[in-house]
Amino acid sequence: MNGLVNKVAILTGGASGIGKATAQLFAQESAVVVIADVNREQGQAVAQEIVSHGGKATFLLCDVTRMEDCLSVVDTTLEQHGRIDILFNNAGIIRRADVVETTEGEWERVMAVNVKSIFLMCKFVVPVMARQGGGAIINTSSGWGLRGGRKAAAYCASKGAVVNLTRAMAIDHGPQKIRVNCICPGDVDTPMLRHEAHQLNQDETSFLAEAAERPLGRYAQPEEIAQAVLYLASDAASYVTGAALVIDGGGSA
């Protein structure tokens, strides 16, 4: 890979999990990292840690379901750095319930964070990338964006939408030299994975043991998913767009 020297990257949901690992990896690859997250304390801590290791990072408070917040992140990034080369739409939540158990508010919240946020961020970032002559957008879907899962109706619907939104954007904006891809991770060792066990009223140890039941015999670490995001963001993936990259240890095989 050619690295990300001097490229400016916005990462939503960058305060923890996959987003945090990707922010750290991008910084190691010499990118300028802008972390957008609703969690001020954790987001600032990630940015400060990157800076303390010689990287370039800032934190911007952002509720990705609010148009005003998304526009503010884009405008502030342009004011501070003059360009946007990479957008990683990673913010996401899960509600483990079937359609009967899911409330209307829960459905709307999952769709807002997981899908609407991508629409809003791309609405403002795509014109910037088009003026620059190109860019790379990576969206976080899930293995459950390609197939169904138990007691996760809203989540599965949202992640399926991310996959097809990614494809539609790749078609629309390929002529502007904007590549749009998504990642489809399986279970990853993040706070959200453990929160799923509590939502299902399941013992965390047994839940994690089930998550490891796949050909590679384990669930992923956030750093492993970050490597896939780096690939899609880099020039090594210069001919890759409209793809849904499965990273699940063989679980879907």
Those residues whose C-beta lies under 8 Å from the C-beta of residue 46, and which sit 6 or more positions away, are: 14, 15, 16, 20, 23, 24, 35, 57, 59
Q: From CA 13, how far away is CA 87, in angstroms rounded? A: 12
Q: From CA 244, how far away is CA 228, in angstroms rounded? A: 11
Please give the C-alpha separations between residue 162 and each of 112, 165, 174, 184, 212, in angstroms, as whole numbers. 12, 5, 17, 10, 25
Which active-site residues does the annotation give? 155
Those residues whose C-beta lies under 8 Å from the C-beta of residue 78, and which sit 6 or more positions away, are: 84, 128
